[in-house]
Every structure is written in structure tokens, then in C-alpha cells.
Structure 1
Amino acid sequence: MARPQQQNLFADDELPENLAAWEVAAQNDRLLAEVVFNRPLTTVYHYVVPDALRELIGPGKRIEAPFGRGNKLTTGFCVGLSTEVPAGRALKSLTAVLDREPLADAKLLELTRWIADRYLCGWGQVLESVIPAGVKSRAGTRDLTFFELAADFERRLGKTRLPAKQQAVVAALQSAGRPLRADELSEAAECGISPIHTLRDKGLVVSRRDRMLVASAELPPPEPHREIVLNSDQHRAVRDILSVLQSGQHKTLLLHGVTGSGKTEVYIRAIEEIVGYGRQAIVLVPEISLTPQTIRRFRSRFSSVAVLHSHLTDSERHAHWQEIVSGNVQVVVGARSAIFAPTPHLGLIVIDEEHETSFKQDTTPRYHAREVARRRAAQERIPLLLGSATPTLESWLRVLRKEDSLISMPKRVERLPLPPVIVVDTRNDPQVRQGTAIGRALFTAMNSALKEKGQVILFLNVRGFAPVLWCRACGEGVRCPHCDISLTWHKQRGVALCHSCDFEVSPPPTHCPKCGHGGLTHLGLGTERLEHEVRQRFPEATCLRMDSDTMKQRGSHQTALDAFRAGEVQILLGTQMIAKGLDFPNVTLVGVIDADTQLHQPDLRAAERTFQLIAQVAGRTGRSARGGRVFVQSASPEQPAIQFASRHDYLGFASAELEHRKVLQVPPFSHLVRVIFRGPVELDVEADAQLTADKIRAAVKEQSLAVRVLGPAPCLVTRLKTLFRYHLQMTSVSLEALRAAWLAIAAEVPTRKDVEIVVDVDPMNLR
């Protein structure tokens, strides 16, 4: 049977001239979500928001949507909403909105987009990284039942008389004036749960379930506050900072103060000023300096302090995050990632020890917290304060170019002198030549310090007993089978360990894996061997070792420092975790066991890092009227970095090193992008690296970009964690030129399934 012809409800002259206009209008009525995913993609995708999700969707919330050809349900971030339908695209629809409240506000969305552009990674990758896992999972929360009186309570109750306990429940709810949890209501009404449930069954009380944060953000107690009188340098520094704060303008200030000059007190005085305006501060410190001592000091001066660092549990981090969002926190103290703290009233950002390499993230997104802080401060129109005794050459060059302002604090508090530094040439030291870690001069100085009831710090930036197991027969070291790295002997654990992939051999090999010859030799010094020697040569002194092998338990770092501060330990030795930020007035001697550890690394920053380490560890002594001395053992005592450090001459070192870098046109006089290729088959890795380098060179030539391309070549550590690694480098004075060169070929980069590509902008590590 033929279907009847549908009657047209409009006369021909009533129809619009262009039916397509109606279709466009219908499309424009659709709400579209702009979405990014945790992928190395620059694309912002558009999805239709179903009617059921319109009231829930919003920028900064996570969504679930079909992604890719297989339409796999994938979590992404909504970064915007629109009604304009992209031309020529069939749009998919969202399937869920995962968050009640946005995880990122408009400012954080803007900042993360800038990071994605600046560091050549995906916007979704940045958002996934900067919002803590505990916040995304709402760690420390649980479902709680809340009770309140029904809206029509009076009508339902009528003339009914309630039993005493039910009357008590009603009275408690009326008195509270808000919904109460079951435990709160039971306590207020002094009854069990049964009367509450009975009232609910009668319709007089209604209940609802809500997910609430129950974790607490516990912090160490504040240390006793003592009034500190500022010296003239500190007064001038505070005055200069406050003048910028009061101007309401963005400016970056470099506070260059010698070790012990009282920089932290300057930070606190500046923060007290902005807290007085009802605003908040973020203080970034290196992870190893983020001790309970630091937190106690801030808590003694501010009533509400939040902490963000890697040792927090997910629920603790979530609790701190929510406190910060509420606006009730005055100061956020944390490591690198605290720069993303969701402060609604930010007034100042401080980065202490700004020279620390830990402010650069070594996984995607590979941002530098200093540059992100600079951007966020400009976005908020607030000051950024950088502090260090040994600023990075990047920061110092900005001061010389008048891009940032310098605040100088050249003297220690109470006018205490900087300690004399004695450089010991270990090539002429008979004890060191015989294999001991502590040379004759340092041994004598340690004896004197201990006899005078002083304390000693020994610094060696190598852990383990011996960093090399060496075969006398074939001259080869015992290497990790997964990495091009020598195994380190850890005598106490009885293992030969790879410090890159944690591969271990237990017990350690006794014969060379290559030639089979027996009797392997232990070469080099580590902190474990140093500890063994100290205990043998100073049996009357209590010794404590601090490195990542001994400080694994939570709180062990602070327990060790408390014991040293209390005088229970006479000799403290360890790696860089003891080299900075510690203030112990009774330390009268510091020994640097091997100042050449970093100096001869194939790294353009080797001299800078050597100078910084010596200067920072030297600053641990001479912090009281007792004074102090520093002994630096080196087989290269004539090296400029060591000589400048021995004279506490940062200005001389910076001038000489900048001149050297300028001739070579390397950072900070240029920007660098390092592209790393890694995979299980070396030939595939090399081929992809070569093809990419060829494409970049062609793009540079075609666009006439002032970019120099180096490589590809094997990385210094060619095999790491079973993967072969090649890299190429692009260098230019212009960061925009480097971005243009990469983006021109990014879509054409080889996508071999088992070869991973990593892009690192302004890398700190070139190994």
C-alpha cells in the first residue's frame, strides 16, 4: 500500500529562500565543547554537548568522549565552549562530564596553554600534569549522608506530637539552620540513628548524600617566634620590594645575597606586607630544602600556610589544594609544582635558591618553574622575587640587560665574615694518593674542629661505596646490561646497582663479565665509602650519612637534621641534600671531598654547577661568632670555577663565564631545543633521527630561519633502560624561530610505533 503524500504546512511563497539557512540556525543552536586530550597534539577538538550535559559542562572540567577511529572513550579537558560549527567536520558527542566543579579556572587555562606553546607539547598533557592526581580523584573524600527538615515540615507534622528523642532531632536541625551529617545530628540530639530514620520514614526529615573531603592537611607545629632586627642591607631590600608591591605593576627582582645574608627574613617581611592587603603568596623552594624546619618558620609568622610537595599523600595534597582554592591560605610553600597553586588572590611569587636545577621538570611537560612563574606573575600583574647566593647566568644576564632589577645583599647578618676557603691539591697529597677520601690537611682540620667541640660537614656528591667495578685484565668496567652506565658497588646492601634503571646484581660479580678475569677493582669514592673511612679514622665521633640510600623513610630527613642540630651528631656527611639551605651555628668546618665530580662532565653548565656547589656548601659554616673554615679537595685546583668559588667571587665568575658562553653563542645567549629519539632497535632510532634532522634543515632553509641544527648523534648515554637514544639539537637567539622550525615539520615527524620522540626546550641535562 502506498504511503500517503505528506501535506506541506507552508505555501511555496512562505518557505525561506535558502533552506540551508535553517540548517545552519539549527546547527548554531548546538553547544560545542572545545576539548584537549593527554596526547602530544596541538589540536583542540570540538564535541557536541548533549542536552543532558548542558547544565554540567564548563571550561576547566574533565569530560569523557569517543576519541580516534576506534571511538575509544577517553578522558579530556574542556577548555572552552562555542556555538560555531567547524566547517566540513562530522562532530561526535560527549558521553560524560566528570567533575562537579572546574579543576582549572580561566587563568590556569591561559597559563597552561602558554606552557604548551612555549615547551612544544600538548595542552592536554600540561593540564593532566599540573593538576594533582589526588585532586582529580578527590582523594580523602567519602560519601556522607546529610539530614534536614522537609520543606513542608509544618504541614506534614500537623498536630502530631513526636516522642522526646524525635523532638530533640527536630530541635537540633532547627537550631543548626543547615543540613547535618548523621554523626553531627546524633551528637546534637543526644540520640542514636533510629529516631532520625523514623523521622525520614514519616517524611518530616529528608536526606541527601554528598561527597565531602574528610582528609586533614596536617603540618608541623610552628617554631617559637623570635623578633628579628633587620640590618641595613635587609632594610634596603625590603624597601625596594615593597615599592614594587605598592606600584601594582609586574616586575622581576633578583635578590642576590651571600649565604647567611638573611634572604628568608626578607621574603617573610615582603609576604607580611601583601598578606596585610588580603592577598596571598607562593614560595617555591627546592624539594630537598622543603623540610619541616622551613614549614615551621613560615608557620611561626603566618596563621595559615599550605604545603605542596612530592612527599604528600594524595589525600593530603587534595586537602591543601581545597584550602588554597577557598582563599583562606596566606602562604603556599612548595616545590616546583606549587607554581600552579590555585590562589584566588595572588600578590607575590618568591623562588628561593633560583639556581637549583630541580626547578626544571624532566618529564613532559618539560617546563622550568622560573619561566612559568615569570609568566604567571606578568599575567597577575604582581612581582616575582628570585633569590640566590649563586644566581643562574640566565637570571644574571637579564639583570645586566636591565630586563630585571637587582637587589644586592653582599654581607652576612651581624656582619659575620664569609669563611676562608682552602683549596687542597690532592695530586700532591700522599694520603689521597694512597686511596683515602680525606686528605692530610682536611684530616688535621677535622681533628682540631672536633677537639674544640665544633661540628663538621663533609660533602661528596656520589652515593654508594665505589662508582666503578673495574677489570685490571681488559680495562673494562662492569656495566649495566640495560644502560651504558657502570654499576656502583653498594657494600652495605651487598649489591652492584645501576643508578639509572635500578638493575642490581647480588652478590656483586667477582669476575669480569667480558673477559672472565677474577679480582675486580673498586674505583672511585662514594658516600658509603666515605662514611666507612670516617668511622675508622674518627672512632670517638658520632657520624651520620645523608643520601637517598639512608633517607628513604618518611621523616628521616628531618630526624637526621634534628639530631645534628641537637649536637647528638658531630660529623654529618652526604650528597647535595646537605649542601644548601641548612643553618647550623656550631658547624666550624666544611670539607668538599672531590670538587671535580661535576667539573669534567661534558656539559656546558659544568663550571657553573661546580661553582654553585662549592659556594653553597661553603656557606654552611661560619654562621656564628665561632667562625669556620672550608677545605676543598681537588685534582684541578687551577680551574677558574674552583678559584672563583674559593674567593666567594660570584661577580668575577659570572663575568668570565658569560664572556666564554658569548663567544660560543650558547645559553644564555641563545635558546636550545633538544629532540631525543629512543627505541629498542638502534638502526630504527638512528634512521628516524636522521630523517627528522633532514626535514628540519629543509624547513629552516625554506623559511630562512636563523636556526642552527646539530646532529643527529648518539646521546652521551646511548643506551638507557634498554632503549637506544639519539638526539639532535636546534639552537637560535630567537625562541620563536626554534618553535617555527619544529612546528613546520611536527606533523611530518616519523611515527614509527616503537620509537618515542621527546622534545626538550632549554634543557638542563644534555647527557
Structure 2
Amino acid sequence: MGQQQNLFDDQQAEWELDAQQQRRVASIVIASGPDGAFDYDTPEGFCDAERPDRLLVPGKRVSVPFGRGNRLATGYCVAVETKSVDPSRLKPLARVLDAESLLSPAMLRLTRWMAEYYLCPWGQVLEAVVPAGVRSQAGTRQVKLLHVPPDVKARLGEIKLRSKQQAAALKKLATSDRPLTATELAKEARCTTGPVQQLLKHGLIEATAARVVNNPLDELIPDREQPLELNSDQQKALDATVAALDAGKSRGLLLHGVTGSGKTEVYLQAIEHVVSFGRQAIVLVPEISLTPQTVRRFRARFDSIAVLHSHLSNVERHLHWQKIARGEVQVIVGARSAVFAPTPHLGLIVIDEEHESTFKQDSAPRYQARDVAWQRATAEGIPLMLGSATPSLEAWQRAQDDPQFELLSLPKRVLDRPMPDVLNINLRDPGQAKFGKGGISRQLHQAMQVALRDQGQIILLLNRRGYSTHIQCPGCGFALKCKECEISLTYHRQHNAALCHYCDHEEPPPKVCPDCRSPAIRYSGQGTQKLEDEISSRFPQHTVVRMDTDSMRKHGSHEEVLSRFRAGEIDILLGTQMIAKGLDFPNVTLVGVVNADTALHLTDFRAAERTFQLVAQVAGRTGRGSKGGRVLVQTLQPEHPAIAAAARHDYLGFAAAELASREMLQYPPFGSMARIVVRGPDEEITRATAEQLADRVRKAARELEGATLAVRVLGPCPAPITKLRNEFRFHMQFQSATIEPIQLALRSATKSFRAPAKVRWIVDIDPWDMQ
């Protein structure tokens, strides 16, 4: 029996060998399907180089039969190769969806790295990288483009046509440098479309379906500006950047410059060097809608820039994408997703205010734009410049330890202007309570009076939206919370509603306590709306404007308010953290931080770092002009190291102390982290699922060989925000010296894990938000 079985196996192998053919096989990643690439046969119709609209190359999207039912699914072609296969075992491609490749080979490699590093399906990464407006070809219309076949062109002089209009149309199309529509050809040949249709009928011309752009982009180009003269520190930083650019190698550059030190001018002149030899630059900013002056400065220095941000329509985004891919754009300015701009000649990537949390994506793929930018810079052999007055501790430590990174310093403001004086106001002082129940202390009120008397402008920071931050009964202790999130609702006086800032749940504010019916229910805490009312009543002769996500919903509202503030039409600008960054107004002589403690005690190991950055950044908005400036910081903890260091403008001192604490606890940048959050509508089932998943990770971690691969598993336990959008949340945290063992353990533990119905879980590598 064994011999007969071997003979049968040999015969089957021979039959399979005979059945194999040399075929072009395409590797397809399904956009919204299981992870991994699937092989498909490529029929001859998709191999014709003379038909670029049908030719299959990596980076194009395709329609393929998928699964047992052979439903048509959209996928991305990631590779095409010729190999010996049995074509009967492969399903054929159904259709090529794109006339041009959407992703270069380099971008395909980058997306594969992202999928592996962030433990996210490759298809999901590809969908995130290619904007929806590009995938839908927004701003285009389907037309039929006419061309003359090569065999007809070859015998053009021999063809005799009875109609002069047909002959004229055929000659015009044959000599045209591009395909034409029937209407365009009729216009060129000065005839109706009838002769054109006859040429089509007789096969002398052919029609191909294609998409064309409806409207070009109209951009307002401001007056050109000349480069500014650099001081010695700026010149040293620029020289080091130019040397890195000319070396033609990947290099990390951390530009640490105090607020007002002229970092943007260094970026601009470095990019001018890049553009001078035909290359392109990508500039990432934290929130493009809040930094119109940055965009204006770039438009005034370069012939062609593209701006990519969330306020663009799909049509605008698609048109920008096309211009960038054609190499027609010198500089791309945008938020974190602009790191994927399809630049064919990239020469430099700049990330301004690199410490900002907005560079971390909060949905899958949960990437950090700074790390993705470094991967892209490394692959393309170009420098990456990170700039900040308060660098992230990860970037700062890397500049100290990594030979591939270099620290560039701008320790002084331009024109040697002094840093503003900072005064911490202790709100624990009983004397502060005597001045009133509002959010403004006596010292801050007096400082505002002086600033306004001297024709200066004021910025006030309060990082809390709404009017009252919580509603509570002093009698029975009842607190009004969101029914779906169990988070205190915030009272918004403008709409007379109690709102949840996490799920947008809204309900009428109670007039009496819902539990004990006491009419003494209290609206406590202060948000930006209440602060606006207080400032308006204290300074009725002056113009007060609030900037937060509630007041800035209208398209273009940020630009309008900041333009009015720049023009001096607004005396006092108050708002949340959106006013703490990217603003350069020389007439601001006073900055007030109404409550510096809002983020200080969050259950997050970065709480102190974020508090220091926020206070230091908003303090830097003043003292940029000849009038100078000062900063008043109201706090319950003036002695806290983060607040005390920010008052001294002492980043080096803060970083040294905070890094020592991080090293002791093996938090980043001295160790790597990941986080899993499990959520579901049933608390016990969700908790059990989290415990099961944690046990699987512990088991997988134990199976890793070598002491250096140890993974510490913390949890699961209820997340700081225990309930969100009517789902209970449990989280667990993983720590290790490097990220690789965490990735190995998580990949092994989650590979075959199936959560119960309605229970979901996410993996976050290098988490930024611990709530």
C-alpha cells in the first residue's frame, strides 16, 4: 500500500507540473477584508502597456472575486510577478479601477511597515493613506476619449474618405498630442459630432472611457517676501541642515528653539535650498486650521504650495493630490496625514511643534506621524527636521543618544528680545477668595487693566469648554452625569443644555435635584463660556472673543478671528489650548493662564510634561514685539516642578528631572509601551474578555526566549474613563525595554482570539492617550 501511495503521489506531482504555466500573478490586499495578500491570475487584457487605463501595476486598486460566494471586493495590488502556477487554482482579476497608480513602491513599503509595527491589517492602512476623495476620484467626470489606433496612423495617407469633415477630423485627432472628446474634436475640425460618430462606426478611431478633472484649483498668491536676515544661532542651524541635505542621507535634526526664536525662518530657508535643486518638502503642523499665518508665509515664499487638512472637500483634496503626484507642488503644508503626500521628488520633511498630541492618530491605524516620517525619511535618504520650544521627551532623549540625530539650538529670541516675566499666582491664598467668585484673580485683573490702558492685547487660556464644568446637589451629593459615559455633563449656557464632551449626549439642565428635589442644585466649575461672560462684564468697553471648538465650528472662523486679532479689532482673545500654539502677534503684552492645573493630575504618565508644554507654549505668545510682555499663571500648585519650570522658561531643568523619573519607572523614552482597550455593553462579559486576553498575552510573553524579551503586563482594570458611549471599558498596559517583544506577544495572543458578540478591542502601540 505504501508503494502504491508513493506512485500515486509521483503521478499527481507530474500532472500538477504539466498543468502549471508561466502566468502573471498579482498579489492583492483586500481593503476591508482579512489581513494578508492574496494571489490572483492576471488575464492578458490587463497586461497591455499601450492601455495604461487597464494595465495592472502595483499601487492600483482592483476589483476581485473574493470568498466562497465570489463577491466582488476592492483591493490594492501590492506586487505583480511572473511565476509557474496552475491557473485553474487562481481566480482572475475582474477589473482595474485606477488609470494611474495611487501608491509608489516606496509608499507600499511604508504602509507595510506601518501594518507590521502598529499591528493593523495592511488593507486598513492603505485605505487610511489614500484619501477618500482620491479613491472616489472626486471632482472628475466620466468621458470617452478618442484616439487613432496605431495601424490606422500607419496608413493615414492611403485612407480615402468621401466626407471632408471626416477627413479633417481624422487628421486633427491623428496629429493631436493628447486624446480628445467628441465635442473637442468636432470643435477642432469645425464640424458637428456626426462625422466623428461615422469615424467611430468604421473603426478608424477608437474611444476609451476615462475620468477628467472638472475644475482646476484657484489659489490666491500673496506678494512675494524676501528671506529675513538670520542671527548667528539661526545661521548655525541652517548650515547644519543644508549640510544634511547636501549629504544625501537620512538624518534626524531636532531644532530646539525658545518661543519667538525664529524656527519658521530656518524652515523656510532650508526648504528654499531643497526647492532650488528641484526637490519637494513636506511640512507638518499640529492643526492647519489654526495656523493660517504659517500658510501665508509659505505662500509668500514659494511659487506652488498645497495645503492638506480636514477642512478640504473631497474634490479639493483629490486635485491637490494629483498636483503633488505630478511634481507640480514645491511645498506641502498639512496636518499629520500629509506625511503620506505622493511626492515624487521628496527632499525634506519638517514637523513643527513636534511635541503636539495631534500628531498621534486616535483611530486605526494608530500611527505617530513623527515615527512614520522618520521611516519615510530613512527609506528615501533625506533629513527629517523636528522643531519645538518644548520637545517631546522621546525626541529630546533621542537627540542625546542616537548618532543619526543631531540637536540644533536657538536659545535666544530674534533681535535679542527678552523672554517674558512669568508670575505664578497661588490660588490657595485666602486673599484670592476676597476678590470675588469669578475665575480672575486680583493680580490678573490689575495686569489686564494696565495692558489695555497701554493699548496692548491679551490672551487668556482656560483649557475647559462650556459654562459650568459640573452640576451637583450640595444636599444629597447627586452629580449629573452622562447616561452613556458616566462622565459629568458640562453646562453650555449658549444652548441651555447639559452636554457630554465625549459622546455629544445632550439633555435639558435640571432646575431642581433629580434625586432629592432640592432647588439648591449648584452649577460649579468654570469653562470658557463663563469666563467670556466674566471678562465681558469686567471690561465692557473692550472687544472679547472666545476661541474653542464650540465657537469655531463655521468654516473659516479661525482665520476670521485671528485676522481680526492681528488687525487690532479684538482686545482680549480667550480660549482653550488652540490659542496656545502657532500664534505670533507682536502687540500681545499679557498672557493669563486661568487654571494651570486642568491636566496636571490625569492618570497619565505624560501629565506633567503636557502641563509644562501648555504653560510654556502659551507664555511664549507674548513679548514678541517692542512693548515686551508678561505672563500670569493661576494655579493651586505653584510649587509643582512642571509649573515652576515653565515659569522659569527652563526646559532643560524640567527635562532632566522628568527623564530621571521616567528612567526609574522604565516609561518612554527608556522603555516601550502598548495598550489594549476592551469595550462592550455588558460589564461582566467585557471584564472577562479583558482578563482572557491578558492571560493570553502573559502566556505568549512567557514563551518568548531570553531574559531581554521580558514583557510586563499590567491589568486589566477599569479604564480611567470607565464607561463611554454606553460601553464599559477595561484596559491593560504592556511594557518592555523595546517594542519588539511586545509586538511578538500581542501578535501571537491575538492571532486567533475571537471576542464575544458586541465586545470589541483595540491595540495601541506607543499610546499617547491613556484615558
Length-normalised TM-score, structure 2: 0.91
SS of the aligned residue for 1:261 comes to coil
Contact kept in structure 2, 1:156 and 1:204, CA below 8 Å: no
Contact kept in structure 1, 2:290 and 2:559, CA below 8 Å: no
The alpha-carbon deviation at position 328 of structure 1 amounts to: 1.7
Contact kept in structure 2, 1:33 and 1:78, CA below 8 Å: yes
Instruction: Return closer, same or farther for 1:180/1:666 CA change in 2, 3 Å cut-off.
Output: same
**Map 1:731-746 → 2, pairs under 5 A:** 731-746=735-750
Q: Does 1:765 align with 2:758?
A: no
Contact kept in structure 1, 2:226 and 2:301, CA below 8 Å: no
1:463-518 Cα deviation digits (max 9, x unpaired): 1111111121222321111102111111011111111111101x322233444443
The alpha-carbon deviation at position 764 of structure 1 amounts to: 0.5
Query: What is the match of residue 596 of structure 2?
Result: 595
Query: What is the match of residue 123 of structure 1?
Result: 122
Contact kept in structure 2, 1:432 and 1:438, CA below 8 Å: no
Instruction: Return closer, same or farther for 1:433/1:636 CA change in 2, 3 Å cut-off.
Output: farther
SS of the aligned residue for 1:654 comes to helix
SS of the aligned residue for 1:748 comes to coil
The alpha-carbon deviation at position 450 of structure 1 amounts to: 0.7
The alpha-carbon deviation at position 680 of structure 1 amounts to: 1.1
Could you tell me how far apart the structure 1 residues matched to 2:175 and 2:76 are?
42
Match for 1:501 among 484, 500, 503?
503
Query: What is the match of residue 325 of structure 1?
Result: 325
Query: What is the match of residue 47 of structure 1?
Result: 40
Could you tell me how far apart the structure 2 residues matched to 1:515 and 1:338 are?
54
**Map 1:127-146 → 2, pairs under 5 A:** 127-146=126-145
Could you tell me how far apart the structure 1 residues matched to 2:272 and 2:93 are?
47
Q: Does 1:728 align with 2:721?
A: no
Contact kept in structure 1, 2:486 and 2:722, CA below 8 Å: yes
1:86-132 Cα deviation digits (max 9, x unpaired): 99x96544433322322212111100111111111111111111110
Instruction: Return closer, same or farther for 1:530/1:195 CA change in 2, 3 Å cut-off.
Output: farther
**181-190 or 23-32, larger mean C-alpha shift:** 181-190
Query: What is the match of residue 22 of structure 2?
Result: 29
Instruction: Return closer, same or farther for 1:218/1:357 CA change in 2, 3 Å cut-off.
Output: farther
Could you tell me how far apart the structure 1 residues matched to 2:412 and 2:183 are?
59
**Map 1:686-725 → 2, pairs under 5 A:** 686-704=687-705, 705-725=709-729
Contact kept in structure 1, 2:22 and 2:83, CA below 8 Å: no
The alpha-carbon deviation at position 748 of structure 1 amounts to: 3.4
Give the counterpart letter for 1:407 in structure 2.
Answer: L
Q: Does 1:380 align with 2:380?
A: yes
Query: What is the match of residue 575 of structure 2?
Result: 574
The alpha-carbon deviation at position 757 of structure 1 amounts to: 1.3
Instruction: Return closer, same or farther for 1:177/1:104 CA change in 2, 3 Å cut-off.
Output: closer
Q: Provide the aligned C-alpha RMSD in A.
A: 2.7
**Map 1:200-599 → 2, pairs under 5 A:** 208-288=208-288, 291-403=291-403, 404-428=405-429, 429-431=431-433, 434-505=436-507, 507-599=508-600
Query: What is the match of residue 108 of structure 1?
Result: 107
Contact kept in structure 2, 1:220 and 1:292, CA below 8 Å: no
Could you tell me how far apart the structure 1 residues matched to 2:587 and 2:189 are?
59
Contact kept in structure 1, 2:22 and 2:84, CA below 8 Å: no
1:188-246 Cα deviation digits (max 9, x unpaired): 66777677668777988765543112243344433541441111111111001111111
Could you tell me how far apart the structure 1 residues matched to 2:204 and 2:116 are?
57
Q: Does 1:95 align with 2:89?
A: no
Query: What is the match of residue 663 of structure 1?
Result: 664
Contact kept in structure 2, 1:36 and 1:77, CA below 8 Å: yes
The alpha-carbon deviation at position 365 of structure 1 amounts to: 0.3
**99-108 or 648-657, larger mean C-alpha shift:** 99-108
Query: What is the match of residue 5 of structure 2?
Result: none
**675-684 or 169-178, larger mean C-alpha shift:** 169-178
Could you tell me how far apart the structure 1 residues matched to 2:493 and 2:370 are?
39
Contact kept in structure 1, 2:590 and 2:631, CA below 8 Å: yes
Contact kept in structure 2, 1:225 and 1:301, CA below 8 Å: yes
1:284-321 Cα deviation digits (max 9, x unpaired): 11125654322221121111111211111111111011
Instruction: Return closer, same or farther for 1:464/1:303 CA change in 2, 3 Å cut-off.
Output: same
Give the counterpart letter for 2:531 in structure 1.
Answer: L
Give the counterpart letter for 1:748 in structure 2.
Answer: S
- Alignment: residue pair count: 747
Could you tell me how far apart the structure 2 residues matched to 1:157 and 1:69 are?
55
The alpha-carbon deviation at position 457 of structure 1 amounts to: 0.7
Give the counterpart letter for 1:111 in structure 2.
Answer: L
Could you tell me how far apart the structure 2 residues matched to 1:688 and 1:228 are?
60
SS of the aligned residue for 2:703 comes to helix
- Percent identical among aligned pairs is 51
Query: What is the match of residue 3 of structure 2?
Result: none
Could you tell me how far apart the structure 2 residues matched to 1:290 and 1:323 are?
24
Query: What is the match of residue 756 of structure 1?
Result: 760
1:329-375 Cα deviation digits (max 9, x unpaired): 11111110011111111111110100010000000000000000111
The alpha-carbon deviation at position 684 of structure 1 amounts to: 1.2
In structure 2, the gaps of 5 or more residues are 1-9, 49-54
In structure 1, the gaps of 5 or more residues are 1-16
1:144-179 Cα deviation digits (max 9, x unpaired): 344567746655555x5747xx89878876885544
**42-51 or 582-591, larger mean C-alpha shift:** 42-51
Could you tell me how far apart the structure 1 residues matched to 2:574 and 2:562 are?
11
Give the counterpart letter for 1:693 in structure 2.
Answer: A
Could you tell me how far apart the structure 2 residues matched to 1:763 and 1:67 are?
34
Could you tell me how far apart the structure 2 residues matched to 1:196 and 1:69 are?
46
Query: What is the match of residue 8 of structure 1?
Result: none
SS of the aligned residue for 1:630 comes to strand
